[in-house]
Structure 1
Amino acid sequence: MKKKSLYSIYLSATMLLISSCKLDYVNPNGPVEDQVITTREGLISLAVGVKSYYSTSGLQALITAPGATSRELKGVTTFTNILELEAGGTALPTFNGNVNGLWSSMLRSMVMAEKLIKYAPQIVSQEATMQSGLVAFGYLFKAMSIGGLATAFEQFPIQTDLDSKATFVARTAGLTAAVKLLDDAVALLAATPPSTEFNSRVLGGDFVLLDVINTYRARFNMMLGKYPEALSAANAVNLNTKSQFLYTNQNPNPVQQQVIFSANFKPRANFGLPAGFVEAGDGRLAFYLSTPDVVVGGETLKTLKGFFDDIAKSIPVYLPDEVRLLKAEAIIRSGGSLADAVTQINAVRTQAAGDAFGVNANLPPYSGAVTTDALLLEVYKQRSIELFLQGLRLEDSRRFGRPAPPTNLNPVPTTFERNRNFYPYPDQERLTNPNTPADPAI
C-alpha cells in the first residue's frame, strides 16, 4: 500500500472520538490497526498523523473551550454546548460536547503517541536514528496530551486502556509523568540524534523537536512548582528557532474554523482582561484584535486577527516570549534576582521588531514596584496578552491566584476572570469507565 493512502486511512480513523480510549474504525476495507503500526511506512505515517490530529482537533478543543472559560472568547451562537460553556459554574453539564471534545481528543492523541513508543523499537529496531526520532516524538505528544488534560481536569488517565478501564491520577502525578517523558526524550535525542529522513518526513522545516520538548519541560515543571527545573529547561531553548503547526485549505486552521468560519465565538475586547491590565499603545492589541466591534450581552467583542484570521495561517507550537516569561516567573518564584526577572520581562515589553512570529509589544520598560507580588502580576499580564489564545490562560488564572469563580451563582457573572476551575468528567467516560472520579464542585 502506498504511503499516501495508508496515511489518509489512518488519519481518517483517528478523527473519530473515543470513549475510555477505545478505538473504533468504520472502514471495513481499510487496513486493520495492526497493519498500520507494524510497518515502517505505517509508523512514519502515524507520526505525521499524530501531529496533524493534535494540531487540528486537539488545538481546537484546547484553545476554544478553556478560552471561553477563561474569558478570552465569548460564545455567541445559540448552540446549547456553547451557551453552557459561556455560563460556566454548575450550568456546565457533564454531557457538554466541547468538554467531551477536549477530553476525547487528548486521549486520542495519547493513543497514537503510545503506539509510536511501543512499536517503533520493534519495527525499526535496525535503524537507531529513525527509532530515536519516532520514540522521542511519541514521548513528546504523549506528554502534550497529558498536559492538555491537566489544563482542564483535576484527574485523568496517563495510560490508555482498550478495555475502557483506564485508571485516573491526580494532576500532580500526571504532570510528573509528562515531565519524565520529556526528560527521557531529551536523553534519547542526545544519545542518538534522529536521522535526516525522520527530520524531513516527520518534522519538516517548521518543527524544531528539541526546542519544543524543552519548552514543554519548562511549562510543565512550572505547573508543578519545580522552579529551578523550569528555569533550566527554559534556558535550554534556542530562542532563535521557530516551530509552528501548518495548515492548508484541506487541513484548516482550527481556531479560524470555530471563530470566523462557524462564528461560534468572538474575542473579548482587551483580551478579556480586567480594566487597566492592557496598556494603551500595546502593539499586541493590533496584532490579535481588529474591528468591526459588536456588542453582545453588554460586552464589546472584537474581530480576531493574529494567527487565526485565515484558513491556512500557521499557529505557533510555542512563542519565544513564553520562554522568556517562564524564565522571569521561575526566577521570581524561586527567590532569585528580581532585577534578572525584570530583564526578562523587559525583553518582552520593549520588543519593537524581530519577534519570530511578529508579536511585538513595543512598550516602555517596566516601571512598577520591584517586588515579588508586583512582578508576578506583571508576568501574568504579559502572559495573558502575549499568549492570547494559546490554550494557557485557564492554567495561568489558577496558578497566579486570580479570583476563583463562585459556587453559588449560575451563570457565573462575566466580572469573574474565569467561570470554572476545572471541568466535570464527560458522561461518555463515566458511562463506560468505572474508575471515573467524582466531578469537581466548580
Structure 2
Amino acid sequence: MEETKGEGFHPGTAQELEAVIKWAAAERTPLEVIGHGSKRKWGRAVQSAHTLRVSGITGIIDYDPAELVLTVKAGTPLQEVNELLKQHNQELPFEPADLSAVLGTTPSQSGTIGGVLATNLSGPRRLKAGAARDHVLGLEAVSGRGEIFKAGGRVVKNVTGYDLSRGFCSSWGTLAVATSFSLKVLPRAAKECTLVLWGLTAQEASGAMSEAMGSSAEVSSAAHLPQGIGSLAHHNSATLLRLEGIAVSIDYRLEKLRRILARFTSQDVLDKQNSKNIWVNLRDLSPFVGAKNPLWKVSVSPTAGHKVIAELEKRFAIRWMADWAGGLIWIEMQGNEPHDVPLRRIIADNGGGHATLLRASAELRASIDVFQQQPEALRGITRRLKAQFDPHSVLNPGRMYASI
C-alpha cells in the first residue's frame, strides 16, 4: 500500500500490514510503529523516515461472554473494549491505565489494546489478577520479516515452543506488529470498598500493606499516598487497601481487615464510587498530571520500597507514591535532571529492581538509558530474538535500547 503524505502508512488489514513490513524489510527502511500515539513520549524516540499506524486495524472479531473470551483487533481503542465488556458486566482484570494525560499526548482514552499489551501496561489490581501478559491467550502478528504468524489460541494452555503470546508483551513493537488478540476477561466485582489508614509513614505503610496482602482478607490492591499527593492525601498520608467481591463477602473481610490493623486507629472506609474514583486516579497517575519533571517507574521488592524512598529523600527533592503494596513506586524528580545513575545505584543497594523513565523531554530520553540495562546473558537473548523476528531491524529500532 502507498504511504499517505504526512501521515505515514495506515493499513486497515493484516494483509496490508504484511505488505508494508515486507517492503520495509526489503528496503532496509525502519518504521516507527504506533497506534494513536498515546504512549509515543514513553521510551526512546525512534529514528525513522516512515510511521506505521496500526489504528486502522480495528474492531471486535468475536466475544463470548459465557466463555469469558474476547478476540479483538490490535488497533481497537481501549475505551471501546472497556465499554463493550461493561455492557456484559465484565472487565479486563489487569486494569490498564490511560497515560495520555500524564504524558501530555493524545486525548484521554485514545490508546489501543495493542499498545496496552505491547507495553504490558498493568494497573493496581496486578497483585491479585496478574499482569496484562497473563491474560493473553493468543495473537496474530506480522514479524519484521513481513510474515504473518499466529501463536496460542482461545484456550489457556497452548505450548508451541516460544510463548509468543506472552513474549509480545513488553516488546514495545520491536519484534512484531500484532493484528489481533484473544484475551481472558472476568466478571466485574459486584461491590468494592477501600479501607484508608491515615497518617502512616512510608515504613509503617509498607508493614501494613504487607500484612494486609498476606491476610485472608483477600485485598486486591494496596497503595500509599504520602501527604500532599492527590486530593485524598492533601492533609495527611493515606494508605489504601481495596476489597472487591460480593456484598456479604466484602462486609466480612472488611471487619477482619480492620481487626488485623486495629493498631492504626485513624481509619475510614470509602464506598463503592469513591473507591472506584481513587483507584482510577491512582491508576492513571493523576497526581503527576500537568508537570513536566522526569517521572520514573521503579519496581522493587515491596519490603524495600520505603528504604529506596528514604535514601532518595536524603539526596533529592522528589514527589512520589507507591502501588503494588510498595513494590511499584512512581517517583517525580524535581527539576530537569533525571538522576538516573544515583537512582539505579540506590535501587541496587536495596535489594535490586529496575527503573524505567516514563516521562521526560525528548533530549533527556535520548541521552540516558530509559529502560534498565539488562544483564549480559539476558541482553544476548534479547539480541537473538530481535535477529530472529526482525533481522533487518525495521520495527521500532532503538525504541527500548539504542543498539537493538
TM-score > 0.5, shorter chain as reference: no
Bigger proportion of residues as helix: 1
- Normalization by structure 2: what TM-score? 0.29
- Normalization by structure 1: what TM-score? 0.27
